[in-house]
């Protein structure tokens, strides 16, 4: 997600510091950005010169302090894990200029909780991009309990400058997108687990029958099975309802390191 967010900001004229603790992830991210820019050139959305300019606007860092010390706006897109995000927001709050807005791309973790570890809860907000970021129009703008009206307005205007369509939602587990999507994916995994049908049959029913562009198992692989499991756990803990309990097959696959497209194996092989 980080590479897609960096790509979109740089494409729309913003200078971007792309930060990851893992230098290999940064290399992979730049490779993905180049590949996706080439696709846009092929579709005649961008030119070779645009690509050069866009890449020039992106600098990579492994050191958080160097990357954010002069940032006007931060979008955090680290692993979907509450303790990682809380730790990062404590650091970001200490390292960023006082007026910087700290947005998170979390799929499900409470914005209010993330904001609570900072001294600037009014300037903490959810800016939930969809995957793949350069293609998908939606940004779910998630208001934490203390998020100010100014912060919401600035994120709406910023989303529009990125060519996106922002939709405001409130801070409940999974917000809107994943509160609805993850139970669907989980149910598809249960259908596979219980032998109701094979993976192709499940995906084909949903694609042809419901006009979904991707079947739910294919989509889960694309999102990352670890990300899906983390989101389901947030829903399960947050609502305390058994309907959100992750399917044991999903839990086993994540434990076995079969995380979907990013590891080459999920419900399908890549
Ligand atoms: N995968 C999706 O389709 C999708 C869609 C929308 C939102 N999201 C959200 O975006 C975020 C990232 O998801 P992803 O699928 O790209 O995850 P990912 O696991 O593929 O990538 C996360 C990256 O964060 C890095 N990281 C971990 N801790 C860090 C730290 N302290 N500082 C800097 N970098 C750190 C990791 O090295 C890794 O490269 C999550 O919050 C997820 O819920 C994901």
Task: Let me know whether 29 and 107 are in one domain.
Answer: yes
Is 26 in the same domain as 120? Answer: yes
Q: How far is the C-alpha of 65 from the C-alpha of 139, rounded, in Å?
A: 27
The CA-based diameter of the chain, rounded to the nearest angstrom, is 55
**pLDDT tens profile 119-141:** 999 999 999 999 999 999 999 99
The average confidence (pLDDT) of the chain is 97
Closest CA to 125 of 95, 158, 94: 158
pLDDT attached to residue 133: 98
- What one-character DSSP code corresponds to residue 21? S
Q: Is 269 inside a domain boundary?
A: no
Atom of ligand 1 nearest to the CA of 2: 16
Same domain, 106 and 91: yes
Q: Phi/psi zone of residue 96: left (φ > 0), alpha (ψ -120 to 50 degrees), beta?
A: beta
Ligand 1 pocket at CB < 6 A: 1-2, 19-22, 25, 77-80, 84, 88, 105-107, 128-129, 131, 223-224, 227, 262
Indicate whether 218 and 139 sit together in one domain: no
* Residue nearest (by alpha carbon) to ligand 1 atom 7: 107
Taking only the tens place, the pLDDT of each residue in 191-220 is: 999 999 999 999 999 999 999 999 999 999
- The predicted-structure confidence for 144-199, as pLDDT tens digits, reads as follows 999 999 999 999 999 999 999 999 999 999 999 999 999 999 999 999 999 999 99
Report residue 251 as tokens: 């839990």
The two structure tokens encoding residue 88: 């990062």
Give strand pairing partners of 16: 58
Distance 195 CA to ligand 1 centre (A): 32
Q: What is the pLDDT of residue 55?
A: 98
- Which residue is closest in CA terms to ligand 1's atom 26? 78
Q: Which domain holds residue 20?
A: 2-170
- pTM of this prediction? 0.94
Same structural domain for residues 143 and 248?
A: no
Active-site residue list:
107, 128, 140, 178
């Amino acid at each position: 997600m980080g590479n897609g967010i960096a790509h979109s900001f740089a494409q729309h004229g913003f200078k971007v510091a792309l930060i990851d603790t893992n230098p290999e992830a940064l290399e992979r991210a730049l490779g993905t950005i180049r590949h996706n820019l080439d696709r846009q050139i092929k579709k005649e959305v961008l030119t070779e010169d645009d690509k050069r300019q866009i890449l020039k606007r992106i600098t990579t860092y492994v050191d958080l302090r160097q990357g954010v010390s002069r940032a006007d706006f931060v979008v955090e897109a680290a692993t979907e894990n509450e303790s990682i995000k809380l730790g990062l927001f404590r650091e970001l709050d200490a390292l960023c200029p006082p007026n910087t807005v700290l947005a998170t791309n979390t799929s499900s973790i409470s914005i209010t909780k993330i904001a609570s570890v900072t001294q600037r809860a009014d300037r903490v907000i959810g800016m939930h991009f969809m995957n793949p970021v350069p293609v998908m129009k939606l940004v779910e703008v998630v208001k934490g309990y203390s998020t100010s009206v100014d912060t919401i307005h600035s994120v709406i205007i910023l989303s529009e400058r990125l060519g996106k369509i922002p939709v405001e939602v409130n801070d409940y587990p999974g917000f809107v997108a994943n509160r609805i999507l993850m139970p669907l994916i989980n149910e598809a995994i249960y259908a596979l687990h219980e032998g109701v049908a094979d993976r192709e049959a499940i995906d084909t029913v949903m694609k042809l029958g419901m006009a979904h562009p991707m079947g739910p198992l294919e989509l889960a692989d694309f999102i990352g099975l670890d990300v899906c499991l983390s989101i389901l756990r947030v829903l399960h803990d947050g609502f305390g309802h058994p309907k959100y309990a992750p399917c044991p097959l999903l839990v086993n696959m994540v434990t076995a390191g079969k995380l979907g497209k990013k590891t080459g194996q999920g419900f399908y092989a890549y």
